[in-house]
Amino acid sequence: MSQSMGVITPSSCGLKAIETILGDRWRVAWIQRQSGSSDLHIQQVNAESHAVYVSIAELDAGEAAQDYAECVGLSDVLRSSLVRSKFYLLSFNDFELAKSVMGTLLLHFRADLEETWIDNDYGQLISGSNFLRNITLDPNWDWRVV
């Protein structure tokens, strides 16, 4: 079953940079969408011989920033950074692969962790630093049940 999460990053963290980071560890492909945009896609076979994937799509920054700006309880720090952020939708069908991809990205975004946010798709925004700390310290941590 496909699941998703949102990732908000500083504008310096573009899809090409993400491709370079992930390409050091996984085979990354570009998937062309009907809209003309492209998504990054990682696919592999897990220990149970099932095809698993993570796909990363860049969202329209103006629309995404407006959606987040309307959220009640959004921190002032995040609200003020929305205009200079990039927004991604990370879709996946394997929790462990998604966790590994996020850990790899966040380690590379280390200098920008305070400006990186993860929307767990269950009503919670988690700072990049908290997300990285939690997946590093607790291998069983599940961002979907924060």
- State residue 35's pLDDT score: 72
- State residue 133's pLDDT score: 96
- State residue 74's pLDDT score: 82
CATH number for 3-138: choose from 2.60.40, 3.30.70, 3.30.750, 3.10.50.
3.30.70
- State residue 26's pLDDT score: 92
Would you say 39 and 30 are in contact if contact means Cβ atoms under 8 Å apart? yes
d(CA 130, CA 78): 14
Q: How do the domains of the chain map onto residue ranges?
A: 3-138
What token pair was written down for 99? 């966790």
Sheet strands (E) in 1-146: 3-10, 28-32, 38-45, 51-58, 85-92, 117-119, 125-127
Residue ranges of the chain with per-residue pLDDT less than 70: none
- State residue 73's pLDDT score: 80
- State residue 146's pLDDT score: 73
pLDDT, tens digit, for every residue of 53-89? 999 999 999 999 999 988 878 888 888 889 889 999 9
- State residue 120's pLDDT score: 94
d(CA 31, CA 51): 16
